[in-house]
Amino acid sequence: MLNNFEQYLVKEKRYSEHTCLAYVKDIQQFFDFSEINPESLADIREVNAPMVRTWAVSLLKAKISNKTVNRKLSSNRSFYKFLMTRACVDVNPFAAVTGPKMPKRLPEFVQKKEIAIEKMDALFSDDDFGFRDKMIFETLYQTGIRLSELIHLKESDVSQRHIRVLGKRNKERDIAISDELYQDLLQIIASKKRLSCNHEFVFYTDSQKKMYPKFVYRKINYYLSQVTGMNQKSPHIMRHTFATHLLNEGVAIEVLKEILGHANLAATQVYTHNSFEQINSIYKSAHPRGHNN
């Protein structure tokens, strides 16, 4: 049954390989803990809510984060939902179990002054690889795309007005870019020809291969370490920074939702908590006693 579920995730839900593997791993972990044979429908039907709670408590005692525990419960909940739609089970034992509360954590972002153009330009070398590093940084900051979207950006996805990215669940969206960014991306593509890169993707590694997540993470972590003391220095921080800076400049949250490729507005609203700069500016300009006389 687990193999059937995996095929369902791949072919019908069109989840990425990484996501599918995570689902299967979470489900297998529960079965191993509960000594359940995933190929035995009789065993699968024996699972009940107390068994699920016992597993969840064991994860928490093992110092597994609330976020991870909730993800594991969600994976198994989806598996049993799949089984119910195919009349393999009558109840979903995971539906009766509420996961641990999630602490509210606001997205971190880099201050504008920390990544000012003149500050960042001094960090990159003058060769092709230095320019590539600069454009990795700038593309993330100027478009807010995800790490996977950057890695899979193809030459054919770049046009004068926008780039086309393939987001979660294979949903395409177009993101507007400036003329300067467009010209810079053309330079990257031209450098590929000089370096004899034999692939269709815009960005490349030092060995002229397609980029991979750890490569980008190391680059962003290194350059952010030169300008900020914040704890998180990942490519996703650039996405948070993009979103927060746009909101601070007055971009409507509905517009930002479309740019970021969020499925619902709730995912975008988390950035509004970081937009005190905008709120403070509006207050000072609008309230009779908000500004200095």
Helix (H) / strand (E) element for 172: namely strand 172-176
Dihedral sign (CA 34, 38, 43, 44): positive
Residues designated catalytic: 146, 168, 236, 239, 262, 271
Encoding tokens for residue 121?
């330009």
How many other C-beta atoms can be found within 10 angstroms of the C-beta atom of residue 171? 11
Answer whether 66's CB lies under 8 Å from 22's CB.
no
Q: Which of left, alpha, beta for 169 (phi over 0: left; psi -120 to 50: alpha)?
A: left
Answer whether 147's CB lies under 8 Å from 213's CB.
yes
The residue assigned the tokens 């269709």 is: 200
Helix (H) / strand (E) element for 175: namely strand 172-176
Q: What is the DSSP string of 22-52?
A: HHHHHHHHHHHHHT--TT-HHHHHT--HHHH
Encoding tokens for residue 68?
């991870």
Encoding tokens for residue 23?
């689902």
Helix (H) / strand (E) element for 248: namely helix 235-248
Q: Taking the mean position of all CA atoms in its chain, how far away is CA 40?
A: 36
